[in-house]
Structure 1
């Protein structure tokens, strides 16, 4: 009997995923554990693996379609084996049955008129998923005008969204033609946002719309920190200790200690209620090929420098590999653009946090020492964005100064 392939649950909050790409087509041989499709949620992208060896018999969901967790997206079985009508439509019947029962029991005047019409022609009954029906109702779209692209002409949520897009394009075109005729702008390609990109867009827009953000800039002299880092790396190598002591690790430790010294920054403002945390849960902004995620190091205040380094390496590598890693609950975030040569920038708050630290690239500067002699200093640009509803400029500046103090006195990071 054919084995079902279902939409997996990538994270605790995931309710549906999007089919990004089918890596195999019906009829292709597959090995158990081999990737057969790429899916994405609002935070992660991952591959769906074949549950057993055999042949990909059938695909029930198309690229771009949003599928609830646990719903069947395809079948794997033996070559020549047929997927029964019952098996391939079992989930559809399960979704449609409650609605049919509800319509049977409803008063006559509330029954959908499409139910009593012929099953062919323009007024035929439409197969539509519950998610698509809900979306059509929200957007006030007549499902009779939508052509379904799902199995057996079933209307999917993506079909509804596509109908809205086409309607908006038509309206916009009509308005332009009525007002002024302009030279058309040529476009090389048009495509919709990925699930991850849409999530980032929504979060960033909400962050700017719902907070009062202000950014402070200053540099830290990390000349001694660089020497300290080199010394620790040498000690680790001599003692066969595998550890990745990056500048981000020292920054994370400095931020953690500063948050313990200034707990008013380690806060969330939710519904006019300010929640202050004793624990420090650090978000480490991590860039991916197709977006940005913020894996979280929980209880950074409990971790000495070495353990903190391993935790940061672990969560960032897992995030880049598309593995299931904690992405929520951070109380403060660090984002680093130094590798791209950026000096100062204005990071956007990661809601509902009250602060985020942006880190730039190393800068060499010549300064006079206490003996009036020129010396080369290594400076690190820092950009602190904070929510002015929670903090005023002065305490925010004191907090940033504290971070600089720890970076300029690196031995304190071990205490």
Structure 2
């Protein structure tokens, strides 16, 4: 009997997966553990292996479908085997509840019904098979869509490109008019002959052809607004959008900014970079050092290392640090669990491993949640100040800005310059007052400016 392969649960918090692309098609012979499709959760993208070997008998979903975990995904069995008994055995009623095991085959030209096989122009006139942009462009230029004999879209559909071509060349109606001796001057754009002109009969011979009137300055530009592309917001991008709106709508966010002397960061980073590779510290970055200092500050300020949900404030003894990670699929926030229990070397190594997995799309979705405090670092992009949004239900998030020179007055009255790093703290004012946020930043500045000592902790 055929085997039904289901959508696996790719993490404890995952409820459904979006099919990005199928890697197999009906009729393919596959081995057990062969990759059948690429899927995307609300946090990461992954590949799904087959749990059975054989011939692919049916693909139950289309690319772009959001499939609940544990739902039938495809059917594998012997070549020519009917997949329906296997689907009936698991109670599959189709993705729409109608028992469809695969998309219905599209009719070929040879098997098309008489209505489908009708002339394209007649089909367009009868069914309006023209895209909205094509109809708008035709209407703006007084072009009869019936004059477009063949559309280049799917199934002969008239699309915007077809209308543009009709506007820049003699229309089929004009060609027919010339063949039958009808008037060469019509009522269409630029004097083109339309089907309306053909049914009205030949124009009086006494009326001499005239040059088309000059195009007024207010005329509609046929190329307006120019090329564009519409993309459905889905997957990770949709989740980010919804979470950001929810963050702003459900919390009282206020951002506080300050700076810290960055010379200690720069000196320690240089020293670690040139250290013995056997010590495992050469890869420690400025971002690692600031993140490590932020963990120490969050541990000393419980209201910042907390969740606020349904009117209940939960503070955490340990700091589980989330960090914003720029990936090809959008913003992800991996969590360094138990960051407050780690050494600097361990913290740096775990952060890099999580970042690499997030960028590659192979991170466990469970490691993209559970943070108690978050850091977002835009300093590498030269940003000197910004307003990070809370990752609710967290009560605070730290934005790390660029290092930049600032003028300072020395004790002897001379003027010099020092390197400063910008810090932007966003806090939920429902539980964190301004003075509390200021104290957090004071602690953070102290940890950063004495980073060599902080790293020993």
TM-score with structure 1 setting the length: 0.73
Q: Following superposition of structure 1 onto structure 2, how do residues 8-407 of structure 1 map, counting pairs within 5 Å?
A: 8-28=8-28, 30=30, 32-51=32-51, 55-77=55-77, 80-91=79-90, 93-94=91-92, 128-129=96-97, 151=101, 188-237=228-277, 239=278, 241=280, 244-322=283-361, 323-324=363-364, 325-407=366-448
Is the CA contact 2:381–2:402 (under 8 Å) kept in the aligned structure 1?
yes
CA distance in 2, matches of 1:31, 1:372: 78
* 1:235 counterpart SS class: coil
Deviation at 1:209, TM superposition (A): 0.6
String of CA shifts for 1:42-66, please: whole Å, max 9, x gaps. Answer: 2221111244565544311111222
CA distance in 2, matches of 1:301, 1:346: 25
Is the CA contact 2:334–2:367 (under 8 Å) kept in the aligned structure 1?
yes
Deviation at 1:302, TM superposition (A): 1.0
Is the CA contact 2:402–2:421 (under 8 Å) kept in the aligned structure 1?
yes
* 1:83–1:316 CA distance, 2 compared to 1 (3 A): farther
Is the CA contact 1:62–1:150 (under 8 Å) kept in the aligned structure 2?
no
* 1:331–1:152 CA distance, 2 compared to 1 (3 A): closer
CA distance in 1, matches of 2:76, 2:254: 54
CA distance in 2, matches of 1:383, 1:32: 51
- Comparing 182-191 with 312-321, greater Cα deviation is found at 182-191
Is the CA contact 1:338–1:360 (under 8 Å) kept in the aligned structure 2?
yes
Is the CA contact 2:319–2:340 (under 8 Å) kept in the aligned structure 1?
yes
String of CA shifts for 1:347-390, please: whole Å, max 9, x gaps. Answer: 10000111001112221334343344554422211111001111
TM-score with structure 2 setting the length: 0.67
Is the CA contact 1:267–1:354 (under 8 Å) kept in the aligned structure 2?
yes
* 1:362 counterpart SS class: strand
* 1:31–1:374 CA distance, 2 compared to 1 (3 A): farther
String of CA shifts for 1:68-116, please: whole Å, max 9, x gaps. Answer: 21222123456x453432124444x3569xxxxxxxxxxxxxxxxxxxx
Is the CA contact 2:4–2:87 (under 8 Å) kept in the aligned structure 1?
no
Is the CA contact 1:75–1:83 (under 8 Å) kept in the aligned structure 2?
no
CA distance in 1, matches of 2:410, 2:92: 77
* 2:230 counterpart SS class: coil
Is the CA contact 2:379–2:402 (under 8 Å) kept in the aligned structure 1?
yes
Deviation at 1:320, TM superposition (A): 2.1
Name the structure 2 match of 1:162.
none
CA distance in 1, matches of 2:226, 2:100: 32
CA distance in 2, matches of 1:354, 1:59: 45
Name stretches of at least 5 consecutive residues in structure 2 with no aligned partner: 105-131, 137-219
Is the CA contact 2:336–2:350 (under 8 Å) kept in the aligned structure 1?
yes
String of CA shifts for 1:172-202, please: whole Å, max 9, x gaps. Answer: x9xxxxxxxx999677222322222222111
